[in-house]
Amino acid sequence: MRVGRAQWLAASLVAAALVGCRSVGAADGTAGPAAAVAPRAQAQAAAAPATAPVAAPKFGPDGLPIVDVAAINQPFLEAKEVAKFVARFERESREIFTDRVAIADAVRLRPGDRVADVGAGTGLFAPYFSLAVGAHGKVIAVDIAPLFLEHVRQRTLLDSLPNVTTLLCDQATTNLPSGSVDVVFICDTYHHFEQPAATLASIHAALVPGGRLVVIDFHKIKGQSSDFVMGHVRADEATAVAEITAAGFAPVRREGFLKENWFREFVRTESGR
């Protein structure tokens, strides 16, 4: 049976009303923020065009889930307390955490290097990078989330790591000055870039000629990777390498010691966009 426009609209209004009813009380028994939002949601539903009352398709023509990158970044930007993210990023069951020393070694930093950790999160790598580059080097923790950067500042203060600084960025640019770094490190963050070409152009400009870019990200393999990875990670390794190469980088090294993630090193070429 074909469903007409009027029936779609009626169904969406009923759904919006039901959502509003269910979300009036917060879990702690108080009238949560949802109570205030519900009437607005109903009004928006009523005003929405009848042709678009339901959610966007979840799968692309390749049969893979369409990843909403902005949505996966939202929790970082809205975070009010950092503890749950420390627990999430710095737990023994996370390969990046258990292998953090091997990863830091494999980045092959040298004393005096200026390294930017783009998408530094809670600053997991800051102490290792700080030690590797030494007193004449510099570690810049770059992130879109002010709360994470405040946490990095506090932990580096506590650990007395004066060569670590922080830099707030956005999706269009890392805000790193031109020619200011020797190495850029991106760990489990490439799939969070909402504008990969713009971010890569900014990284290309920030690196000195011949500078190095190290990228680690989840393997995304149809039929092998978890549902979480398939629905969370935008690009598989081949796609990411193609994008990075197109942005003016040449792949020079691949490490195979991680199981859930790929590890690649690139060097900056002169052909950035």
Ligand X SMILES: C[S@@+](CC[C@H](N)C(=O)[O-])C[C@H]1O[C@@H](n2cnc3c(N)ncnc32)[C@H](O)[C@@H]1O
**Binding residues for ligand X (CB under 6 A):** 73, 76, 89, 96, 118-121, 124, 142-145, 148, 169, 171, 187-189, 192-193, 199
Evaluate whether 172 touches 195 at the Cβ level (below 8 Å).
yes
Question: Toward ligand X, which CB reaches closer, 132 or 142?
Answer: 142
By beta-carbon distance, which residue lies closest to ligand X?
Answer: 121
Shortest distance in whole angstroms from residue 223 CB to ligand X: 24
- The nearest distance, CB 99 to ligand X, in angstroms, is 11
User: 12 or 189, CB closer to ligand X?
Assistant: 189
Given strand 207-218, what is the order of strands in its sheet?
164-168, 138-143, 114-118, 181-187, 207-218, 261-268, 249-255
Burial label for 67, CB within 10 Å (0-12, 13-18, 19+), is middle
Nearest-approach distance from CB 98 to ligand X, in angstroms: 12
Minimum CB–partner distance for residue 40 and ligand X (Å): 28
Nearer CB in complex with ligand X: 16/139: 139
Pick between residue 45 and residue 200 the one whose CB is nearest to ligand X. 200
Q: How far is the CB of 216 from ligand X (least distance, A)?
A: 8
Phi-psi map region of 87: left, alpha, beta (phi>0 left; psi -120 to 50 alpha): alpha
Q: Closest CB to ligand X among 148 and 266?
A: 148
Nearest to ligand X of 20, 211 (CB atom): 211
Least Å distance, CB 273 to ligand X, is 17
